[in-house]
Amino acid sequence: MVMLSSASSSPFSALMASFGGLFSGSTSNLVILSTFLCLSAPIAFYLYRYRSNIKEKVKEIEKNVARVRVVRNKDAVKKNRVVCMELDPSFVKANPEWKMMSFGEYLSQLEPAEPDNAFNQIFLQKELNILIGKFLLDNMGRTYGAALLPLMGAGSVAASIAGMSSAVSKFVAKSILEDGGASGDGDNNEEKSIHDAMSFDLSLMELISFVNLHQKVNTIDDTKTSTPLNRLRLGENLDGDLAYDLDDGSFPTTFDLDNDFINYVTMMEERILKKEGKYDPNDRSFPSSVPINERLLPGLHLGKGDLQYTHTKREGIEHRLFCVLLNKLCHNYHKLASQQVTKVEDCFRVKCSGQSCIFPEELIQALVDCGHTVEVCPRVILSNFGMQLCVKEDDDSFTYIPTTLIMRTGIERSADSKPVYFCSPHGGLDLNIKGPLIGRTGTRPCWIQFYVSIGGLTCFHPDEDQDAPWAAKTSLADVYSHDDAIRAIRMCAVVAVVFSRIATDLKLPFGGYGVLGMCNDSATLIDFALRGKTMSYPLLSTGRYLIHIVSYLSKLKDEFMALRGRRTLEDEKLDLVVFDTKSLIKSTSRMPSDLHISPLSLIDTSTRYDSSYSLSVFRCISDAKVMLREMADVAREQLQ
């Protein structure tokens, strides 16, 4: 074998060697080689002729990229004020002990490290576009965007998020490079562009219209173990070693709350320790925040800084186990109604202080009987879908940047065509329990909540959260009376069964989240059935699936009525669940919708918006409430 050194080899000889025995072959091989050389010769000549220009251009690009560096100057805020996700001044004033700033205030502090003419805005914008696009896809592609937009197709999801990242990156680049101060009409124009840049350019109606384009997703896993009904039977939407019920027959069919509860909590703690290598039952910390990009966004971190959970890790494990028990009891309604079992002895049961419970409302009543206090109330909170931001200061402390997802309501003020925005909420039916068995430790009671989750299951969920003023809950009604609380829990079971049946039969993605309604819609059905009104906003259930909900509720009611006289279940219990199912049918049929706005519905919309956003964290909420009140007053005058 002959070895050609790199020093003696020319490009042409290397090319000849790479073709090996091509010259020794047939005439056709020579023709192919000749054709290749003829076609490649102009390219080779171009590269040789302009190689110096190309090298200079590469150096220029590298130089520009190296110059794209941003620093944070806290003194720059006054001269370069950026209005973006601005916090409500009254909210900031009411919480002086908290270090907070708006995202716009953070942007106001940024400036080029080398503020000269060589600083290239295009490079900054492109890098920010890539950075923010990845940030949105990582955080929203798996949550909010994944649930609502993918029914348009994956390409449309990427395009929508890419469009938002492009708008945000342009705005951020402009904020860093230019003086944001303005006066007169410029303020209004700037404010509008800022709000548009930081929100999805979709109204409620447009968003839900996308969802209704298709009712199936090609990636749906329709295996038996993945159906919402089966998940409800197991008690939670979790696979693997950390699931309470491994579906292997080891979970007891009769769960003794007095003895088994602590044992199963301890068992789960041991599993977590084995899987993760560490576990502190009293820990309340969140995962460490991570810097987003120190070169372009200095100090900005994704995460919750040094915020604490409202509950300890052990309390969270206890809450989760109690939710599993309640959800399994909810599934009993399905098993009995569909006659999968013909006697209550074959149902999953929970024993509490000597009482045998087969339904969730019976377990709640048993807890009350043995000394627990139980509060049930619909509540709402602002959501940011994991996009929590904070700034790490030089002393390693954190300044928090409250964030949310802002969208258009579809309502505009006629005088100036200014849109009314809303901040994405999370709502559900809260259960707060405190007593000798459940919620026995800590200063706060056990927090759980009923809603349809983006994880694909309508059921009870643990509800511990960040302990911060912008995460404070807003009550949408007075705490229910004891009788209404018991009825509400029974209705939760009915809604859980109906939503799970629909999602299973129609193979709906995400267990029906987004098409059967959002988180607060599932709880609003119950609140509306109990009180004949609701203070929740927004309500997004669509007519198409509301009809399915009513049909399935009617079918479930008929199944319960068919059990009368069969001794499967006492007629008194059947009468109660039939009555509450009828109430749910009425509430589903009469519940308001925020997808179609009219002058008449605008009055109710304004009232519900005020109640749902009684805590004004962001200025856009305060502005929206004022605008809606004004429009509602006009509507009242016109309709007199």
Cis, peptide link before residue 360, omega less than 30° from 0: no
How much is the pLDDT for 49? 57
How much is the pLDDT for 541? 75
Exposed, middle or buried, 65 (CB in 10 Å: 0-12/13-18/19+)? middle
Phi and psi torsions of 368, nearest 5°: -60, -40
Length of the chain equals 640
Q: Where are the beta strands (DSSP E) in 105-181?
A: 110-112
Q: Provide the token pair at 422.
A: 């809303």
Q: CA dist 89 to 95, 306, 406, 443, 619, Å? A: 10, 24, 19, 31, 8
Exposed, middle or buried, 249 (CB in 10 Å: 0-12/13-18/19+)? exposed
How is residue 179 annotated by DSSP?
Answer: -
Q: Provide the token pair at 127.
A: 């890098």
Q: Provide the token pair at 41.
A: 């010769």
Tell how strand 373-382 and strand 474-475 pair up.
antiparallel
How much is the pLDDT for 258? 94
Phi and psi torsions of 320, nearest 5°: -65, -40
How much is the pLDDT for 112? 76
How much is the pLDDT for 187? 43
Please list, residue by residue across 539-553, b when 16 or more beta carbons sit within 10 angstroms of its beta carbon and e when fewer do.
Answer: bbbbeebbebbbebb
Query: Is the Cα torsion angle 453, 456, 457, 461 positive or negative in sign?
Result: negative
Nearest by Cα to 303 from 396, 426, 391, 406? 391
Nearest by Cα to 70 from 297, 292, 291? 297
How much is the pLDDT for 147? 40
How much is the pLDDT for 561? 95
Query: Which residues, 6 or more positions from 115, have their beta carbon under 8 angstroms from its beta carbon?
Result: none
* Radius of gyration of the CA atoms of the chain, in A: 30
Task: Please tell me the number of Cα atoms within 13 Å of 369 on its side-chain side.
Answer: 14
Q: CA dist 620 to 486, 509, 538, 570, 628, Å? A: 38, 32, 16, 53, 12
Cβ 553 vs Cβ 494: under 8 Å? yes
How much is the pLDDT for 180? 45
What parts of the chain have a pLDDT lower than 50? 1-12, 14-19, 22-23, 117, 142-158, 180-197, 200, 205-224
Domain layout of the chain by residue ranges:
11-49, 68-211
How much is the pLDDT for 454? 76
Q: What is the pLDDT of residues 232-267, one digit of tens each?
A: 999 998 878 899 998 898 999 999 999 999 999 999
How much is the pLDDT for 621? 93
How is residue 371 annotated by DSSP?
Answer: T
Amino acid at 76: A
How much is the pLDDT for 47? 56
Please give the distance of CA 584 from its chain centroid, rounded to a whole number: 26
Amino acid at 83: V
Nearest by Cα to 488 from 381, 354, 365, 607? 365
